[in-house]
Chains A and B, each alone.
Chain A
Amino acid sequence: MIRTQLTSRVRALAVTVVCVAMVASVSGCGARDSLVGIREAPKAKANTAPLTVEQAKKILTRSFTAAYLGETTTGPAAKTALRAAYTREGLRGVSGRVKLASVQSPVAHSLLLAPHPKLLAVSRGFGYPRFIVAQTVASEGGLPVLHLLTSPDAATPYRIATSSEMVPPAHVNPFAPLGQGSPLVTSGAGLVVTPAKLMSLYAAQMAFPAKPVRKPPFVADSFSSQVRTGAAGVSKAVAVQAKFAQVHKVSPRSVYAVGQADGGVLVFGVIERTDSFKVKKGQNVKTSANKAFVLLSGKKAVTKSASITTLEFVVFAVPASGGRATLVAAREQIVAGSGS
């Protein structure tokens, strides 16, 4: 009787110990990990900025310092600095500006003489391309300048893609907090016009001979008026010796639309303008008066044709709903010339 009771107790104890050991071994790995705080890693959040504010400010300082060095010095080091600071149309524009420094007015010189760039927006999420939007105001005053810096992939550093002076009395609506980042808008959902269509219509309405755009989605502005007036003036001036035409074409992959806090977008884009002159038979056109053309083409006279390429850097504010897009900033830069 006693032996039976003892045997059953020993058996119960053994079963208990085995059960505890099994449970402990099964949960052992997880338990050991949790002893030193190990848990599941968090997932990447799509609605955050991949750059910290400190990183973005360092990038701005590095880019603007390189840009300033590139524009204020000469030689291979200056070229290296410019390539480190600028990309794509931005690099074409600054290269043209440096080439024409001796013949352009001082106002058109560096847009970067600003000690403290103001960081306005950074990209949201981990997709590419990414951007940084910044604003500078020259220390000696003048119009604020909007800058767009872009990075096409993870391995390529941010560089200045466009820089444009703001057009008075334009202002830039606020962006989302820098910690959240701002979205890159690619569709026109919720907007009065898609960024790509806006740019192509704006480019089309500046053509010469004029091709009016019906119901333009943008407000008339002084920049396009000046361009069209200038084209008409050139055409009239050369009418006896040459036939003049002007074509505006949006540069591929230059359009960036940055979402703003109110649902609107700030659209950056570059339009390439080509001024074409077809010299009439028997004419010999002296070009020495156009110092920029002579510097870029090396031609002081043309007998067949000539062309001048200018980049137009523009920035539009597109409202979320109702109204029309407004030009916020614009500048132009001659970048190439050729003649025969």
Chain B
Amino acid sequence: MPASTRRVLGALVATVGVVLVVLGSWMVVKLGPSGQAQFSTTSKAPGAVVVASDVLNTVDVPVRVTATRPEGGAVRLAVAPTPDATAIVATSAVSAVNAVHYPAGTMDLRATGSGELGDISTADVWRLAAKGAGSAELVIDQSRAPETVVVTSGDANPLTDVTVTLSWANRAWFFQALAAATIGAVIAAFAMTDLWQSRVIALQSDTAETTTMEVTT
């Protein structure tokens, strides 16, 4: 292999190694030993908040959904198959969570519909439900995906100023990130060593070539 090609390859491998180290280390710090990713958003608009399956069921681990109202008002979380939940909120004003951003930890909210949502607690479509004063949470497993979480006030008052947090965890991600950082460090170290050695050899051979040329002259 020509020396120049070897050097380019070495540089490429070293770059990959460095990228792995940076990304892996950053993930290790970001996820923590529990391997948890967390996203949250606050809805100020009156009306229910919906976390649809395009967000709720995009992971294969259980998702913890928490809703918190700062003034301590009642809050109710319920999860149902997506077609049913969609039908129930179809004719009312809702704020739908339609995207999560990692590593920012934020979620996008999109306001849809109009009209007040009546009492939806009597419907039989809800697989799980939780109610609390100020805060409530549900842990949604993925066994019956696609499902949608609907957050309501749980009483006669419309829901306003609620913070919805989604989190999920997988300890394996922490160890995978750690492994990526370690492997990246090893790759970068080997590649850089190789680059250094080839540079030294090249300089030595250039010096020898110059000397030979001078002698010949």
A: residues with CB less than 8 A from B are 2, 5, 8-9, 12-13, 16-17, 20, 24, 32-33, 35-44, 50-52, 55, 59, 126, 151, 153-158
Contacts and interface: CB of A to CB of B under 8 A. Distances in A.
B173 A35 contact: yes
Given A36-B173, A151-B124, A157-B124, A41 B88 contact: no
Given A37-B170, A43-B146, A50-B81, A16 B15 contact: yes
B156 interface: no
Given A35-B177, A42-B53, 9 more contacts: A12-B7, A16-B12, A32-B103, A38-B59, A40-B58, A44-B83, A52-B144, A126-B83, A153-B87
B82 interface: yes
B103 A39 contact: no
Given A16-B15, A41-B53, A59 B124 contact: yes
Interface in B81-104: 81-85, 87-88, 100, 102-103
Interface string B18-40: 01000000010001000001000
21 contacts: A9-B7, A9-B8, A12-B4, A13-B7, A20-B12, A37-B37, A37-B60, A37-B61, A38-B58, A38-B59, A39-B60, A41-B55, A41-B56, A42-B57, A44-B82, A50-B81, A151-B124, A154-B80, A154-B125, A155-B122, A155-B123
A24 B16 CA distance: 10
B139 interface: no
Interface in B167-197: 168, 170, 173, 177
Contacts of A157: 122-124
Report, nearest first, the 3 A-B pairs whose CB atoms are least far apart.
Answer: A36-B37, A154-B87, A126-B83
Contacts of A156: 123
A42 B61 contact: no
Given A17-B15, A44-B82, A151-B124, A8 B4 contact: yes
Contacts of A24: 19
A156 B118 CA distance: 12
Contacts of A36: 31, 37, 59, 102, 168, 173
B127 to A, nearest CB: 6
Contacts of B60: 37, 39
B84 A154 contact: yes
B145 interface: yes
Contacts of B144: 52
A41 B54 contact: yes
Contacts of A33: 102
Which of the listed residues A13, A41, A157 has the most CB atoms from chain B within 10 Å of its own CB? A41
Nearest to A84: B122
B120 A155 contact: yes
B11 interface: yes
Given A12-B8, A33-B102, A41-B54, A154 B123 contact: yes
Given A2-B206, A24-B19, A41 B146 contact: yes
A37 B173 CA distance: 9
Which of the listed residues A16, A33, A37, A154 has the most CB atoms from chain B within 10 Å of its own CB? A154
A20 B123 contact: no
A20 B15 contact: yes
Contacts of A40: 58
Nearest to B12: A16
A52 B173 CA distance: 32
A42 B84 contact: no
Contacts of A37: 37, 59-61, 168, 170, 173
Given A8-B4, A9-B7, A50-B125, A38 B87 contact: no
Nearest to A33: B102
B152 to A, nearest CB: 13
B148 to A, nearest CB: 10
B57 A154 contact: no
A20 to B, nearest CB: 5
A119 to B, nearest CB: 14
B13 to A, nearest CB: 10
A44 B124 contact: no
A90 B99 CA distance: 46
